[in-house]
Structure 1
Amino acid sequence: MANPIVERSLDEIQFWSRIMKEHALFLSLGFTHEQKQLIAEAQQFITLFERIEEKLARLNVNSDIRQVQAFNSEVYQAAVSIWSFKRKVLGLTLRCEIQSNNFPLLVDHISREAAYFANRIKDLNEGKLAPERDTIIQENLFFLRIMADHAKFIGHLLDPSERKLVDQAREFGHDFDQLVFQAIDLDSMRPHSETVPILDQFLDQNRVSVASLRDFKKTARELIEACRIKSNIHPLLADHTFREAERFLEIIDLFDAHLSNQ
């Protein structure tokens, strides 16, 4: 029988390593031609996470736990390194030491994801698999903020002439901002908010909203790939944000199953 820590570790690494590699690509595409050093650093991270993906392909759910824990430690260091690079880029941007096509909020956004990835791997190596109830609220808060950011980025990267899609993206941004505030309120009500009925309602509401945004992203991705809308959105970025919405839905289901077993 597969070790659940091994199984979860490989799943997290498979998903997030690809995300980290794509972050490095998006940053490199956003730098200007004179920012050669930053472009080179971003390219190094693309290579780093490609190597991680190659090593991952040689492991499976029946791999030895110690081998996977050693791999986790290596991946953790990679996640921390790319987090540090992203925070450096953010600092350079906010101090106006560089001008690029990467929104400061986008750089902050992708650094939050790197920190999340590193913390997930660290928790798994410490044997923490099942979520605590307060973790459920915090993790939803993290992903709700990610979804709100995505909606804002989509709205800003669509051509202004795509008025209907821009309006839809702004509406999603507003809706997810409200869900973020709701999650913050719920978090401040702990431990009373950790009762199963309240958490169940919270997860159900999030699921409906995320599914709706996921469908919007899917439509946008298909339109971008077919060159049917005008935007500065790279087709891979459209797919990237779609996959993250799918991931959030999977996590909501995992939390639901965990609560049902309590």
Structure 2
Amino acid sequence: MPDEFVARSLEEVRFWSRIMKEHSLFLKLGFRCEDTQLINEANQFYAIFETIENRAHAFTLGTDPNTIKRFNEEVHIAVSHIWVFKRKLLGLILTCQLPGANNFPLLVDHVSREANYFRNRLSELNLGKLEPLPDAIIDENVFFLRIMADHAKFISHLLDPSERKLVEQANSFSHDFDQLLFQAKDLESMRPQSQTLPLLDQFLDQNRVSVKSLRDFKKTARDLIQACRIKSIIHPLLADHVFREAEHFLAIIDMFEYSLTGNAPVRESNTIE
């Protein structure tokens, strides 16, 4: 449906363009002072995705679907370019050409996976070929469970080592989400036989509980970091960034739950600043 295409496209671009913009900032903060070319490239991507984000918010649900389709194509090109930049950066790090820089290889791989996810979603929207619900439930959860596991690892490694209790909590979340990811991969390899309503419903319920717990932990960490109440090298915007991604994952789980069963889970309200 044209209206649904416009709504889904704007939702995806508004969310992910902000994520891409912030990735540019976080990567820049991890470069060395002498990495002027990489810093300039990151600044350029920040400006590109800030413009995309602003344009996306200027469109309305009544915008001509053909206009949105062309916009999606433009965004796809920009996302492909930042994906190439991120993979180039990963190669530089893994071949020890940026000694002393502060971007973890896993973090760079992580943000490149998100860029690839975004551009694939844009292609699916424009082609009108979204996955069948059972496949989408498994594939989206496999993707986002790994994202959440990564976040826990990043938080653990960016907290000051003296914040022993928080580091322990982050490591515990890392382990839990690794296990959830392994379970999701098992369900993935068992399909289509595994794609029954009871199994998929339980899959969503179990993941929702764990994502809510991680979301709440991220919110607490974000608030403590913003108030300068804990010791870390986590940028306040990064703390909010990972919180928003957990919220996004929960919204996807709830959408799947409604599509699968017709039941709309009750979500508590959270203010995202």
Match of 1:118 in 2: 119
Q: How far 1:98 sits from its partner (Å)?
A: 1.4
**TM-score with structure 2 setting the length:** 0.93
Q: How many equivalent pairs are there?
A: 261
1:1-262 → structure 2 map (5 Å cutoff): 3-99=3-99, 100-129=101-130, 131-260=132-261
Shift of 1:186: 0.7
Distance in 2, matches of 1:56 and 1:180, equals: 32
Deviations 1:22-74 (A, max 9, x none): 00000000000000000000000001001112221321111000000000000
Deviation at 1:259, TM superposition (A): 1.2
Q: Distance in 1 between matches of 2:80 and 2:73?
A: 11
**Higher relative contact order, structure no. (Cα contacts within 8 Å, ≥ 6 residues apart):** 1
Decide which moves more: 122-131 or 107-116.
122-131
Q: TM-score, normalised by structure 1?
A: 0.97
| Kept in 1: contact 2:124–2:130 (CA 8 A) | yes
- Residue 128 of structure 1, CA deviation: 3.0
69-78 or 50-59: which moved more? 50-59
Q: Is the 8 A contact 1:131 1:255 kept in 2?
A: no
* Alpha-carbon distance between aligned partners in 2 of 1:184 and 1:45, rounded to the nearest angstrom: 33
In the TM superposition, residue 136 of structure 1 has moved relative to its aligned partner by 1.4
RMSD: 1.2
Unmatched runs of 5 consecutive residues or more in structure 1: none
Runs of 4 or more consecutive aligned structure 1 residues displaced over 6 Å after TM superposition: none
Report what 2:270 is aligned to. Answer: none
**More deviation in 208-217 or 125-134?**
125-134
Deviation at 1:131, TM superposition (A): 4.2
Percent identity for Structure 1 against Structure 2: 66
CA contact (8 A) 1:5 1:129 kept: no
Q: Quick check: 1:2–1:61 contact (8 Å CA) kept in 2?
A: no
The range that moved more, 135-144 or 211-220, is 135-144
Structure 1 CA distance for aligned equivalents of residues 244 and 180 of structure 2: 20
Q: Residues 110-159 of structure 1: CA distance to partner in whole angstroms, max 9, x if unpaired?
A: 00000000011110001135643122111101000000000000000000
Q: For residues 16 and 228 of structure 2, what CA distance do their matches in structure 1 show?
A: 28
Q: Distance in 1 between matches of 2:216 and 2:98?
A: 36
Say which SS state the counterpart of residue 160 (structure 2) adopts.
Answer: coil
